[in-house]
Structure 1
Amino acid sequence: MESTQGSKIWTKEFVVNFIINFLVFLCMYLLMVVMARYTIQTFDTTDSIGGLVAGLFVIGSLLGRFMTGRFVDNVGPRKLLVVGSILLLITQALYFVEGSLMLLIIVRILNGMATAVVTTATGAVAGYLTPENRKGEGIAMFGLSLIVGAAIGPFFGLYLSEHYPMEVIFTLCIVIGVISFASVFFLNVEFPQAEQPVHATHQKFSIHKYFAVEAVPVGIVTLLIAVGYSSLLSFIQFFATENHFESISSYYFIVYAIAALVTRPIAGQLMDEYNENVVNIPAFISFALSLFLLGITQNPIAFFVSAILAGIGYGNLASTLQAVAVKVVPFHKIGLATATFFIGLDVGLGFGPFVLGMFTAKIGFANIYICMGVLLVLTLIFYYFVHGKRMKNIYGKQLSQH
């Protein structure tokens, strides 16, 4: 195994896995930014229904996480990656089928499930391939695939939707899916599988089948910071329009991505050399300042400073928390821990805008961001008590299990 035999991160298998994850998230975010408008224009429906169709992807993703988390360590992440890639291709092709609004809703849910299967598998592969002594740095490097996909996807989605019909976007996603599927066969690594009890099929329901219980506190922290980030994803354009600098709003996430790309490799090295608190505590503070800045000072300079702080903050927390989730579980539960982390991420990103949207008309976008800053401060305190202050004991137990 690469993860135990050497200290090299950028092996051929790691690069292939990185590319697969990048392509899947590229397609996911490409569709996410255009689906609401496509629904409204195609079915002559309301803005709320259009937003619902776009957001139902998250429901499918959650279902996929639950199913995948239960089986990934037993089936093996590579086999699951093959199955997930095939399902992803099929669901991408279903967008071409003309039908009712209900059919589109079903396709969105299925597409979300398939995406969750693939990305849970790639996350588990990254956890297996990354050397133990460079786990933080390796997961941080792998997380760049998400950052780049989340930055490029919306940009291309908005550009293509303005100049070409949706069929071009659907075709591009199928091409991306084919490349991703073909790449799986260059991933030539066998992974250990967890042993199954003899009477496993007769076992009663247990939360341990769907969550890595040791990683649940980290999953909760991930959910809370994802709610904060969802306020940026959903409302930053409205906020910029309200403050009369909408022409620059599309560059917010480009600046965010650059800040995350520059700082994430450094954060990964610091995490491995010292511990995650050295990265996470400053990252929490940076993300909170980013949100407070939007709420207090509404001008273009503060707008982009906020983007830099968000990239340093959330851009690093999203990877270090995944690394923490992997670190606090035994080796054979890496896949389940990855699913636990992403369930928290999906719930926060998916349901955050729905909950926050109930208050935007009453208190305004600026106050929403101030509230999110407060939430980040409270989350930092929660993180410290559930993990930060006792991580040495956790790692001591984990090392004794290897």
Structure 2
Amino acid sequence: MLMAGNLFLFMSFQMLIPTMPPYIKSIGASGLEIGLVTTLFSIGAVAIRPLIGYMLEYKSRKPLVLIGAAALLIITAVYPLSRLVFVLLLIRLIHGLAWGWSTTVNGTAAVDIVPNSRLGEGMGYYGLSVTIGMIIAPSLGIYLFHVTSFTNLIFISDILGLFAVVLLAAVHYRTPDVVKNTRKEDLTFSYFGSLIEKSSWYPALLSMMACFGYGTIVTFIVIFGEERGIDQIFLFYLFNAIMSSFSRPIAGKWFDRKGPKGLVLVCSSVTFVAMWVLSFAHSNLHIAIAGILFGIGFGSLLPTLQSWTLAQTPAKRRGVANGMYFSAIDLGIGLSGLFFGVIAQNVETGTLFQISSVFFLVVIVMTFAQGRRKSLTEERAVS
């Protein structure tokens, strides 16, 4: 039920990612204001997470989960009530705060339910709700935006959000004993201390690098399909979702048996190849092949990095680590849109995918370097 509730939550939100920019443009927003749609949201999400990570050190899970889901539901419903650009941007900032709250507490609640011995497998299953939501919902949102009004799109988004609230309310949550036995008075809040978890910052940094590369897919794949005359661009999302569903449990078991590093290297390599296949696509078949490869690679990469982040974090600090992980994702995608949006003015979209694929090579090099550094440290300790 937690997975299903989180899936509906992600779908409700992700439908708005590709549709908010054209909507706000239609009511007279400037280029800068269109860019702020993503930037303000990311600022809100990143800004709230240290506070939520701190609260997760001493508060039970269920109230926090339901507050976040209900806030997302209400804020989404407010969008059609104003056609003033300034008001919509303010709502977008508040939406980011609610999103940062919800993703952090939901991910932490999932970790609390999963046994430590099956962390990779369990978070792999949970991660399906995130990845499938990120894959399916944008194309659904684009379709609805073209065939109906923005108000109707918001209505459907809120229906999905309502399903999420109902399902999340029915979950039997578990709060770790160390959290139950901790009082607020026992803790000292430090904003920076709750922004970064020192024990697990490295895999979170890898997540940001990966999402920086992935951001071009979110922003430009529909435009790419129009440029190449590919009329079934949804096949990328479809096969991506299918292969993510099949590969995720396998990757999770691999993580539990052999650890994260080899898995990250394989997933990043497959994703790199997928980006290049996509960049050369001129037919629906090419798009389907790219979707298959991307589902195998990127579909397992993010959950692996999340499990790696959490596996290195003490139980009472997992809320902070989750917040750091999701902030890394938001920053990666948000900054990618701005960075590659500038480059897109001078190069073809296919070339843009090739350039952004370099960030998956960066992930490979950083993972290999971290593994090498750890091996050298262990050798020195033995000698």
Give the TM-score normalised by the residue count of structure 1.
0.85
Q: 1:222 to 1:161 in 2, by over 3 A?
A: same
Q: Which residue in 2 is equivalent to 1:6?
A: none
Deviation at 1:95, TM superposition (A): 1.6
In structure 1, what is the Cα distance between the partners aligned to 2:20 and 2:372? Answer: 39
Would you say 1:360 and 2:360 are equivalent positions?
Answer: no
| 1:244-323 pair list within 5 angstroms | 244-295=228-279, 297-300=280-283, 301-323=285-307
Residue in 2 that maps onto 1:150: 134
| Between 304-313 and 131-140, the greater mean CA deviation after superposition | 304-313
Residue by residue, what CA displacement relative to the aligned partner does 1:169-198 show, whole Å, maximum 9, x if unpaired? 222233333332233332233413173575
Tell me, in whole angstroms, the C-alpha distance in 2 between the residues paired with 1:318 and 1:283.
Answer: 9
Q: Could you say what secondary structure the match of 2:52 adopts?
A: helix
What code does the residue aligned with 1:17 have? Answer: L
Partner of 1:229: 214
- Structure number with the bigger relative contact order (C-alpha 8 A, sep ≥ 6) is 2
1:138 alignment counterpart = 122
Segment drifting more, 342-351 vs 149-158: 149-158
Q: Distance in 2 between matches of 1:127 and 1:317?
A: 18
Q: Contact 1:39 / 1:50 at 8 angstroms: preserved in 2? A: yes
Question: In structure 2, what is the equivalent of residue 125 of structure 1?
Answer: 109
Aligned equivalent of 1:95: 79
Task: Give the count of matched residue pairs.
Answer: 374
- 1:195 alignment partner in structure 2: 182
8 Å Cα contact 1:70/1:210 also seen in 2: no
- Given that 1:231 and 1:352 are in contact with CA atoms closer than 8 Å, whether structure 2 keeps it comes out as yes
- 1:86 corresponds to which of 38, 48, 70: 70
One-letter amino acid matched to 1:274: K
Evaluate the alpha carbon distance shift between residue 237 and residue 157 of structure 1 in structure 2; reply closer, same or farther with a 3 A threshold. closer
Of 67-76 and 210-219, deviating more is 67-76
1:256 counterpart SS class: helix
1:342 aligns with 2:329: no
Instruction: Give the deviation of 1:338 after TM superposition.
Output: 0.9
What residue in structure 2 maps to residue 207 of structure 1? 192
Aligned to 1:239: 224
1:73 to partner: Cα distance: 2.3
Following the alignment from structure 1 to structure 2, what is the Cα–Cα distance between the partners of residues 206 and 38?
35
Indicate the percent of aligned positions where both proteins have the same amino acid.
21
What SS does structure 2 have at the residue aligned with 1:248? coil
Task: Note the alpha carbon deviations across 1:34-89, whole angstroms, 9 max, x for none.
Answer: 11222122x23345533532553222222232332232222233221122123223
Give the CA deviation at 1:285.
0.6
Give SS of 1:74's match.
Answer: coil
Which residue of 2 is the match for residue 7 of structure 1?
A: none
2:13 matched residue in structure 1:
28
- Residue 324 of structure 1 is matched in structure 2 by 308
2:56 is matched with which residue?
Answer: 72
Structure-1 separation of matches of 2:297 and 2:332: 16
Distance 1:385 1:393 in 2: 12
Aligned-partner Cα distance in 2 for 1:123–1:304: 30
Distance 1:336 1:391 in 2: 27
Distance 2:145 2:94 in 1: 23
Q: 1:21 to 1:102 in 2, by over 3 A?
A: same
Partner of 1:397: none
CA separation of 1:165/1:293 partners in 2, compared to 1, >3 Å: closer, same or farther? closer
What amino acid sits opposite 2:352 in the alignment?
I
User: How large is the Cα RMSD of the aligned pairs?
Assistant: 2.5
- Give me the TM-score of the superposition, normalised by structure 2: 0.89
Q: Matched residues in 1 for 2:114 and 2:224: separation? A: 40
The Cα shift of 1:392 comes to 12
CA distance in 1, matches of 2:287, 2:258: 32
* Amino acid in the other structure paired with 1:350: G
On the 8 A contact 1:231/1:369 being kept in 2, the answer is yes
The 8 Å contact of residues 259 and 311 in structure 1, kept in 2 or not, is answered as: yes
Alpha-carbon contact 2:272-2:357 (below 8 Å) kept: yes
Q: Distance in 1 between matches of 2:101 and 2:323?
A: 9
Asked if 1 retains the 8 angstrom alpha-carbon contact of 2:28 and 2:85, the reply is: no
Preserved contact between residue 128 and residue 334 of structure 1 (Cα < 8 Å) = no
In the alignment, which of 159, 163, 169 is matched to residue 179 of structure 1? 163
